Amino acid sequence: MTPQEILSLVKQRNPNEPEFLQAAEEVIVSVWPVLERNPEFVRLRLLERMLEPERLISFRVNWLDDQGNVQINRGYRVQMNSAIGPYKGGLRFHPTVTPSVLKFLAFEQVLKNALTGIPMGGGKGGSDFDPKGKSDDEVMKFCQAFMGELARHIGHRLDVPAGDIGVGGREIGYLFGAYKKIKNEFTGVLTGKGIGWGGSLIRTEATGYGLIYFAEYMLQEKKDSIKGKTCLVSGSGNVAQHAIEKVIQLGGKAVTASDSTGFIHDEAGFTQEKLDFLKDLKNKRRGRIKEYADKYKCEFHALAINHEENPLWNIPADCAFPCATQNEINEKDARNLLKNGLKLLGEGANMPTTIEAINVLIDNGVLYSPGKASNAGGVATSGLEMTQNYMGSNWTSDEVDSRLHGIMKNIHDTCLAAAKEYGKPGNYLIGANIAGFLKVAKAMQAQGVV
């Protein structure tokens, strides 16, 4: 077998699933040297088995909108791999959700969760439901209908979903309430819960904070730091907000944020006060990002994402943190970043950079971290939330934050060690893929052909 043969097999089995095939190709190429060293992994077809979900559940979700009209959505849960622990991974509510998107996210999640060092398998789920423009009552009714089916497939020792795009604290609350009602039990079946009913301090902040801790560790390798660095951030949701917050706290300057309507460029940089305005705008009032530009008299550019070339990535900066969605940086964007002197790109979103763009960055010496390593702080802290739920106790912010620091450092060092061992020193992409793959592969090997 060659990497191309495995990829064409995966293509045959998963036609019309471009996002899943993109994620699969990146990993197949990266982990090939591991298979060459371990013929037993090839015989057991561990990579091909990892690329096949253990279970893919698809279901109808019916609910009544505020006008009494019947609405129909699709719900999904992809239970990708449970070799090292219960399935774990977020729920995404967005019109672009398809089996392909969820399978790519679930596959990435398997390797990411393995990197955290916490015993969690990988899964992902969601719906094509769009919470945008819906009333709180409609979101609640949808969440209750969605959980009406999902509840039979999840459990605190079986599969523990969390948030993702379109699923924040409000949605987790409604989903948890519905699960508790259906099952008549109070367990840590979801993470990202509210403080006071099983949630963990720092879970909300963890993905964005962890991303910047990871970037700081990468820069430290080069005797450098975030301090004084100009940073581009895309997105304005959970991950983007807390990445910006940590950049501010570490003395860097975050100058952009975006949503699906466009991006703002604030040359003076975010302050905590401006960020608080953004948080209120996005989390409470659920408004559009242009309001930020109107308030702080800075530039607004319409339609930032999914264009041939995104002007956000053509702003001179030292660091870039894509924190919105998949494939938001293409080869042209990468060349623009490079031309403007970029030193580091840390992925906050999952797969925000195309394969071609990644190659441009790595080949030109930019420090690049894949999301499965640098955004793993979120799921790691979800793992800490699960531990606190099992123990029936709560840790302080400092305790969780210091564990988050330790986990990000450990992932960083694990990636570097694996990259070095396989002859690609400093390549975080190859390091992350190999280290995550090895952990899951060894567990699958030990557990037999099941």
Q: Please choose, from the candidates 257, 261, 256, 234, the residue with its C-alpha nearest in 3D space to the C-alpha of residue 352.
A: 234
Q: Which CB, 148 or 436, lies closer to ligand NDP?
A: 436
Q: Contact between 175 and ligand NDP (CB under 6 A)?
A: no
Angle at alpha carbon of residue 386, lines to 204 and 80, rounded to 5°: 90
Interaction between residue 238 and ligand NDP (CB under 6 A): yes
Helices (H), 250-330: 272-279, 290-296
Q: Is 122 in the site for ligand NDP (CB under 6 A)?
A: no
Nearer to ligand NDP, 282 or 335 (CB): 282
Strand 299-302 relative to strand 262-265, pairing:
antiparallel
Q: Which is nearer to ligand NDP, 140 or 444 (CB)?
A: 140
210, 215, 221, 224: CA torsion to nearest 10: -120
List, in sequence order, every beta strand (DSSP E) within 269-375.
299-302, 319-321, 344-346, 367-369
Give the residue with the Cβ less far from ligand NDP, 148 or 237. 237
* Range in contact with ligand NDP (rule: CB under 6 A) among 33-41, 213-221, 321-329, 396-404: 321-329
| Residue 76 to residue 43: CA distance in whole angstroms | 32
Edge-to-edge strand ranges of the sheet holding 253-254: 253-254, 230-233, 319-321, 344-346, 367-369
User: What's the min distance (Å) between Cβ of 240 and ligand NDP?
Assistant: 6
Compute how many residues bind ligand NDP; rule: CB under 6 A: 26
Asked if residue 96 binds ligand NDP (CB under 6 A), the reply is yes
As beta bridge partners, residue 77 has 57, 125
- Choose which of 85, 125, 163, 173 interacts with ligand NDP (CB under 6 A): 163
How near is the Cβ of 134 to ligand NDP at its closest, in Å? 13
Stretch that binds ligand NDP, among 179-187, 233-241, 262-270, 431-439 (CB under 6 A): 233-241
Near ligand NDP by CB under 6 A: residue from 173, 237, 262, 431? 237
Per CB under 6 A, 207 contacts ligand NDP:
yes
Binding ligand NDP by CB under 6 A: which of 147, 305, 366, 443? 305
Task: Residue 252: count other Cβ atoms within 10 Å of its Cβ.
Answer: 24
Among 121, 348, 383, 431, binds ligand NDP (CB under 6 A): 348
The nearest distance, CB 5 to ligand NDP, in angstroms, is 30
The one catalytic residue in 88, 112, 124, 274 is: 124
Active-site residue flag, 124: yes
Is 166 one of the binding residues for ligand NDP (CB under 6 A)? Answer: yes
Using CB under 6 A, pick the residue from 6, 46, 50, 165 that binds ligand NDP. 165
Distance of CA 13 to the CA centre of its chain: 25
As a 3-state breakdown, the chain gives helix, strand, coil percent values, each rounded to 5, of 50, 15, 35
Candidate list 236, 369, 388, 427; residue touching ligand NDP; CB under 6 A: 236
Residue nearest to ligand NDP (CB): 237
Please tell me whether residue 347 binds ligand NDP under the rule CB under 6 A. Answer: no
**Site for ligand NDP contains 61 (CB under 6 A):** no
Residue with tokens 């800075």: 298
List 19's β-bridge partners, or say none.
none
Residues 6+ apart with CB under 8 A from 391: none
Is residue 189 within 8 Å of 155, Cβ to Cβ?
Answer: yes
Task: Please select the residue that binds ligand NDP; options are 239, 380, 384, 416, rule is CB under 6 A.
Answer: 239
Spatial distance between the Cα atoms of 360 and 320, rounded to a whole number of angstroms: 14
* 255 vs 275: CA distance, rounded Å: 11
Stretch that binds ligand NDP, among 29-37, 158-166, 308-316, 401-409 (CB under 6 A): 158-166
Pairing of strands 70-81, 122-127: antiparallel
Taking the complex as a whole, the smallest distance from the CB of residue 375 to ligand NDP amounts, in Å, to 4
Q: Give the chain's end-to-end CA distance (angstroms, integer).
A: 22
Candidates 323, 358, 362, 407: give the one binding ligand NDP (CB under 6 A).
323
Nearest to 135 by CA among 63, 199, 196, 241: 63
Shortest approach of ligand NDP to residue 405 CB, angstroms?
A: 17
Binding segment for ligand NDP among 153-161, 164-172, 264-272, 391-399 (CB under 6 A)? Answer: 164-172
| Catalytic residue ranges | 124
Q: Footprint of ligand NDP on this chain (CB under 6 A)?
A: 94, 96, 163-166, 168, 207, 235-240, 259-260, 305-306, 323-325, 348-350, 375, 378
